[in-house]
């Protein structure tokens, strides 16, 4: 008798919490999403900056755009959370959005924190500030943080500032545990390294 494994392609959502666009933070997020795209059922990018500011600040979860963004997080199997680090803290935009996610809203999801900053001095902000918040929201499967400094981005004629090969290798290493997930859950053996045209505009 032969048996076949049935794979379920994951739904992936990326949260960008940079206050500017384009940005290094968004570039890093898109590099991560690109690595997951071949194995995913759906990949969605949520730019928190583009959500209506008053609705965010007043926690209007019934606002159509806010509700849609929260629904994407709710439906996702894998959540990439990308933020710039300012003064050893993750962005206020991200805080406001995370405050809208229901208690235990990240339970059962795989979460990859991504961050950018001026120097490695801010790296510990992720361990002491962001990861506890993600855990409080129910995240139990938090992958290794990928942090990139300003100097680890290279200029690209078409795509602007892009993460260098060292950062891309760390992205691949952070996502590597997904390929060890038991069969029947995530077909992430199909993960691929980004090509030169890896990050869409």
- Complete domains list, the chain, with CATH: 11-178 (3.40.50.360)
CA atoms lying within 13 Å on the CB side of residue 17? 24
Bridge partners of 90? 85
CA 60 from chain center: how many Å?
Answer: 23
| CA-based nearest residue to 170, from 194, 201, 150 | 194
**Most confident segment among 92-101, 175-184, 190-199:** 92-101
Question: What is the CA angle 104-108-111, rounded to 5?
Answer: 90
pLDDT tens digit string along 111-158? 999 999 988 777 777 888 899 999 999 999 999 999 999 999 998 776
pLDDT tens digit string along 24-69? 999 999 999 999 999 899 999 999 999 999 999 999 999 999 999 9
SS3 state of residue 73: helix
Predicted TM-score (pTM) of the model is 0.86
Backbone dihedral region of 41: left (phi > 0), alpha (psi from -120 to 50 degrees) or beta? alpha
Cα separation of 110 and 140, whole Å? 8
Cα separation of 30 and 57, whole Å? 26
């Amino acid at each position: 008798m032969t048996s076949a494994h049935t794979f379920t392609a994951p739904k992936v959502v990326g949260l960008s919490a940079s206050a500017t666009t384009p940005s290094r933070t968004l570039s890093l997020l898109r590099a991560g999403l690109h690595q997951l795209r071949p194995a995913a059922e759906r990949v969605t990018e949520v730019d928190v900056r583009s959500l209506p500011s008053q609705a965010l600040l007043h926690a209007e979860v019934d606002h159509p755009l806010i509700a849609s963004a929260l629904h994407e997080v709710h439906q996702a199997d894998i959540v990439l959370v990308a933020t710039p680090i300012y003064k050893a803290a993750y962005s206020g935009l991200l805080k406001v959005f995370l405050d809208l996610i229901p208690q235990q809203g990240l339970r059962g999801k795989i979460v990859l924190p991504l961050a950018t900053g001026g120097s490695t001095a801010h790296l510990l902000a992720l361990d002491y500030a962001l990861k506890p918040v993600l855990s409080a929201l129910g995240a139990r499967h938090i992958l290794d943080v990928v942090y990139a400094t300003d100097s680890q981005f290279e200029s690209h004629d078409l795509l602007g500032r892009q993460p260098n090969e060292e950062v891309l290798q760390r992205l691949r290493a952070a996502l590597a545990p997904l390929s060890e997930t038991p069969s029947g859950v995530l077909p992430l053996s199909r993960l691929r390294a980004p090509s030169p045209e890896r990050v869409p505009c």
